[in-house]
Structure 1
Amino acid sequence: MTTNIHTDSRSNLVGSGWMIAAMALFALEDALLKGASAALPVWQVLILFGTGGAVIFASVVALRGGRLFHPDVLSRPMKVRVVFEVFGRMFYLVAIALTPLSSATVILQATPLVVVAGAALFFGETVGWRRWSAILIGLIGVVIIIRPTGQSFSALSILAVLGMLGFAGRDLASRAAPATLGSDVLGFYGFLSIIVAGLLYRSWEGAPMAALTTQSVMLIAAAVVLGTLAYTSLMKAMRTGEVSSVTPFRYSRLLFGIGLGVFLFGEQLDQTMWIGSALIVASGLYILWRGRMA
C-alpha cells in the first residue's frame, strides 16, 4: 500500500513536471510566431510552421511503422476536428500577431470551460449547477478582459476568443476520434490543418509573399521544434501522472505567456486583466475539483 502511494506520488510529480515543461514550450512557441509575424505575413507564417510540423510528425509516424492515411482519417469526428483546428489556429495566430501575447494567452485558458460545456451539450455528460456556474463566471472573466463596452475595446480582441472556441471544438472532436489514430497521426493532421489555415487566410489577407530572412527562418524553425517538443511533453504528462493531478498545471501557461509578453514585447497588464485572469483560472480549477468529486 505504502509503495503504491509513493509510486503514484512520484508519477504525479513527474507528470506535473512534464505538463509545466509543455506549457512553457507552448508559450515560447507563441512568442516566436509573434516575432516571425512582425516580418512575414500571417498566412506565410502559418504555412511554413504547419509544413515544418507536418514533416516532423510524418517522419515520426514512418519511423514507428504507422499509417498516415488510415481509413479512419475520413471519419466524421476527424473531419470536424480538422475544421475546428483550422479556424482555431488561424484566429489564434492572428490574435497573437495583432494583439498582446499576454491577453491572447489568458483568453486561451478559457478553453477547458468551453470543453466542459460542450461535453454536456453534445455528449450528454452530467454537469451540475455548480460547474455551470463556474463556467459562467469564467466566461465573465473573458468578457472583462476584452472589455466590449470600454474605451479601450478593440475588435481584434475577439480574434483570441474565436481561436479559443476553435481549440475547444477541436478538443471535443478529439474525444470522438477513432482510437486507431495515434497521437502522432493526430499531430500530423493538426499541423496539416495549419497549412490549410494559412491558405485560407491568404485568400482573405491578400498580402504578397515576403522574402525570407535568416532571422525569420530561425524563428519559425525554432517554433516548429519547440511546438513538437511541447506536444511530446504534453503526451508524456498525460500518460505519466493521473489526469486530475497534472491537468491543473496547464494554467502555468498563463504565467509563461504573461511573462514573455511583458519582458519580450513590453506589454503592460492592468487591474482588469488580473481580475479576468483570476476568474478564468479559479473557475477552471474549481471545475477540475468538482469533476474529481463527482
Structure 2
Amino acid sequence: MRRIGFLACETTLPGDGDRRRGDAYEHDLMIAALAPAFETRGLEMDVIDWEAPLEDFEGLDLVMLGTAWNYQDKPDAFVARLDTLASRGISVCNSPEVVRWNATKTYLRDLAERGAATVPTLWRHSVSRYELEEAFEHFDCERLVVKRQVGAGALDQELIDRKALPNPQWRYGHRAMIQPYLPAIAKEGELSFIFIDGDLSHALRKLPADGDYRIQSLYGGTETKLEPSPEEACAAGAIVSALPFDAPLYARIDMLRAEDGALMVMEAELIEPYLYPEQGPDLGERLARAIAQRLD
C-alpha cells in the first residue's frame, strides 16, 4: 500500500480544542471525504503536521499540502520543508516550485500578462493614509479592500470607506494589494471552481454574512453548490491554462463577476486550499485516482 501524507498544522489537527481554529471542522470534512476513497485505491493516508520531525515522514510516497493553514506566518520555513521532502524522493503536491510562485499574490500580475481578467489592483510595499487617498482617486470608488500580498483566509484584510479614513498615523503592517470593493461579492458572491489535474471537479458559490464582505466560514460565510454554465466553466479553465506550468494536482480558482458580466480571477489557490468536499461528493475518488496515476 502506498503511503500518502496529508499535511496539516497545529491549529487544524484534532487535539486541544482551545488551540484549534474556528474553521478546523473543514479539515475534518476533508479527511472524511478523502481517507475512504484513498483506501479503496490502495493508498494509506497519514495526517501529519508539516512541522513534525523529519523522521515522521519516512516511508511516505507523496504528500499533499492539505490544511497547512499557518504557512503564511512562516513561508520560508514552509517552502524549505517542502524542498527537503522533495529532496528525499517524496512527491510533493503541489510542488515547491508551484508554492513559490503562488505564495505571493503578485502572481496575479503574471496571469494578467497571460491574458487573464483580474480584479484591478495597486501593489504597494507599504500603505499609509496617503496611499489610500491615492487609491480612492485611482479607482474612483467609495470603498477599498487592503490585503496582504502573502496571506490567506482574509487574515489582516481591511475594508476602508472613503468617508471614514484612518487617522494620519495609520500604517498597514504588510506589503499590500489595494483593490476597489466590488458589490458583486455580496450580490452574486464569489464563485469557486475546483480542478483536479486540470479537470473541473465541482463549483460553488460563496456569500458573506449580512453586513460583512468576507466569504470565509470563520466570518459567517456560506457555500452552496453551483452548476456552472459552459461559459463560466470555460472562464475558470482558462485561468488553469494560463498557469506558467502544467496543471497541478489540485487548484481552486476563485472568481468574481465584473460589471460587464465577465468573470475576473480573484485568486488561483494552489497551495493548501480548502476543496469543499460537501459540494463535490466525488472529490475523494477524483483525488485518489489522480494520485494513484502519478505514483504508477
TM-score range (shorter-chain normalised) is under 0.3
Tell which has more relative contact order, 1 or 2 (C-alpha 8 A, sep 6+).
1
Greater strand percent: which structure? 2
Q: Give TM-score, length-normalised by structure 2.
A: 0.26
